Structures are given as structure tokens and as C-alpha cells.
Amino acid sequence: MIPVTKTFFPPIQEYHVQLDRIWKNEWLTNRGELVKELEANLRSYLDVPNITSTTNGTLPIQIALKVLAKGGEVITTPFSYVATTSAIVWENCTPVFVDIHPEFLTIDETKIEAAITSKTTAILATHVFGNPCNVDMIEKIALKYNLKVIYDAAHGFGVEYERKSLFNYGDVSTCSFHATKIFHTGEGGAFVCQNDELNKELYYHHNFGHAGPAEFHGLGINAKMSELQAAMGLSVMPYMAKIFSERKNVVDFYDENLNFNNLEKMKIRSNTKWNYSYYPIIFNSEEALLKAQDNLNRENIFPRRYFYPSLNLLNYVENISMSVSESISRRVLCLPLYFGIKSEELNRITNKINSI
């Protein structure tokens, strides 16, 4: 079977080295030695001022919304994983959808201002498949209307825009370290914040609101990463250069061998150092996509319709038409892309798609 993705497993002996440290310390959670070491390594690797690890990638979005959106209207994209929208609703905010750019697949920044009302408190945009939003224009809009900017950068690990980490844009950037991501901790995530005072507030929120063992800064939840998760992250980190290199090779193979006469690719924004996180192809029609998917599945090849459906069609939001997102979501398919995929498997995939 060829799945859409596979988890990268570091050598088990190296993971055992980290586990031995946990057993020696007799410390499993509550921000132990391994969590702090992982955060220090990530700060250096990503060149970010502050990073706080979390137990998954959705909680940092919820925390950022709790602190910054304050129950107001949140302008967001309909083309993202469901967690982006569900977090807004979960935090008793109102999602206000803005359609996407047909080439970059990120929120269409030219349509944001028209969606702003007196109730708008924040913008929550997604760097889709690691492709940066137009962060410069979004920042100008946010400053003009005194709005907060949260970036769902679940796919953004290792991406650089204008020679700095993609996480260094907006008031808060969130990331996922899920097992399917380029860098992972099995399950996990993080938030990155430029402002030290805001970072402290977010930090308190992720740890029950504690300001000390018997003191509380304010309201909080439990979003802490465990030592076991950090152990996996510390074991994966030494392999990041190799992981990026292999993924680039896969992307290059698809670029060179797929027939694009009847397919489109996502356009990567200029001045971007991309991370090769996903390989979406866009068919001319949903019928063509379904035919390709069925034929690939028959060959035991399992791409994924990602993202589908367009989030403005969810049954717990107001269903307002988003023509570009709805069209793209019906026609986009992510091809298998992971460390260790074999050249003969890539040949099978491209030959099958080209033959349809």
C-alpha cells in the first residue's frame, strides 16, 4: 500500500536514549527537562524569540483565540483543516469567511477589508500546505483596523518568507507536531509569539493559569506537552536536513514527470523557502478527480482529498457561498509524499495519473 503520508520514525535506539533520561528523572509531565530542551532547540533551529510546546496543534489556536479574539468576529479562510474553523466556534467566536486566491490557495487578502465590521476582533489565516499568506498586506490591514492576527501555521515548519521564519509573522503563529507532519512529536504542537508580554499570557493559559504552585495568573487549560512527546521530538530533530532533502526529491520528481496539460499546481509565493510539506494537484473537474482517485485506489495507492469540503459548508456555520474555495476543494488531491517513498512507487503514481 502507498498511503498519502507516513510518519518518520527515528532509530529506536536513539528514542530509547531519550526514554532512559525520563526514567532516570522520574518525570513524565509538567514541563520537564526534555520539554525545555526541545523548546530551546526549536527556538535556535527556527530562529524565533519564543516558542511554547503543546500537547497538540489545535489547543494553541484555541488559546490564541481566547486571548486575542475575545468572542468577536474572526475573519478566516474556508480552505483549511477543520480545526481552524472549529476552534473559532469552540471559543464562542463567529467565523467570517473570506474566499481564497485561486493560485496560492491562501486567504485572498484583497477581500478581507470588505468583511470587517465593528464586531471584528481578529484575523485567523492559514499558510496552506506551507505556502505563506500575503503577510505584508494582512499586517497593513490589521494595523489599519486595530485587529489581531493569528496564523494557523500547522504546515509551516521550516518555511522561510523573506529570509525569516514564517512563524515570525502575526501576533501569534501556531504549529502542529502531529505524526503526519514534517517535524513531529507523535502528537503535539506549539505557539510562537513575538511580544514577550503576550507570550507570558499565552503561556499561563496553557498551564491551567498557574503563576506558581499555589498562585494563579488567571483562567487556563491544560495544553502542556509531555516528556514522552518531547523525547520523540528530540529524536527526530537530528534528521530534519535529510527529511527536507528527500521530500524535495519527491516534489521534483512529480514536477518533472506529471503531465500538467489537464492539471494545475499550487503556486508558491515569491521570496519563499518552501518546506515540501504536501503535493496538491488540481483537476479540471471533480469528476476527473474521482476517476483518478478510484483508479489509484485500485492500485493500492491512497492520495487524499485535502482540504475537503470547503469549511463554509460545515453544518455548524453560516453557509455563505465561497466560489473559489468550493471549486478548489472539489478538485484538489494531495499525492503521496513522505520520507522513504521509493522511486518505483513514484513511477507507478505518475504513470497512473498520466494515463487517465
Q: What pLDDT is recorded for position 45? A: 98
3-state DSSP percent of the chain in helix, strand and coil, to 5: 40, 20, 40
Record: fold of 12-238: Aspartate Aminotransferase; domain 2 (3.40.640)
Mean pLDDT of all residues in the chain? 97
d(CA 290, CA 280): 15
- Say whether 175 sits in a helix, a strand or coil: strand
Say how far apart CA 356 and CA 278 lie, in whole Å. 22
pLDDT attached to residue 211: 72
pLDDT at 48: 98
Q: Which residue has the cell 485567523?
A: 124
User: Using one digit for the tens of pLDDT, what is the confidence trace for 318-330?
Assistant: 999 999 999 999 9
Q: Which residues partner with 175 through β-bridges?
A: 190
Name residues of the chain where pLDDT drops below 70. 212
Buried b or exposed e, range 18-33, using 16+ CB within 10 angstroms: bbebbeeeebeeebbe
Intervals of CATH 3.90.1150.10 along the chain: 239-355
pLDDT of residue 215: 72
Residues forming CATH 3.40.640.10 domain(s) in the chain: 12-238
According to CATH, the topology of domain 239-355 is: Aspartate Aminotransferase, domain 1 (3.90.1150)
What counts of helices (H) and strands (E) characterise the chain? 11, 15
Query: Which element (helix H / strand E) includes 283?
Result: strand 280-283
What pLDDT, on the 0 to 100 scale, is given for residue 210?
79
Name the helix (H) or strand (E) containing 150: strand 148-152
Sort strands 164-165 and 160-161 into parallel, antiparallel or unpaired: antiparallel
Q: State the pLDDT at residue 356.
A: 84
Q: Who contacts 18 (Cβ-Cβ below 8 Å, separation ≥6)?
A: 34, 230, 231, 232, 234, 235
166, 153 contact by CB (below 8 A): yes
pLDDT at 209: 79
In the chain, % of residues over pLDDT 90: 95
Q: How far apart are CA 143 and CA 138, in angstroms?
A: 9
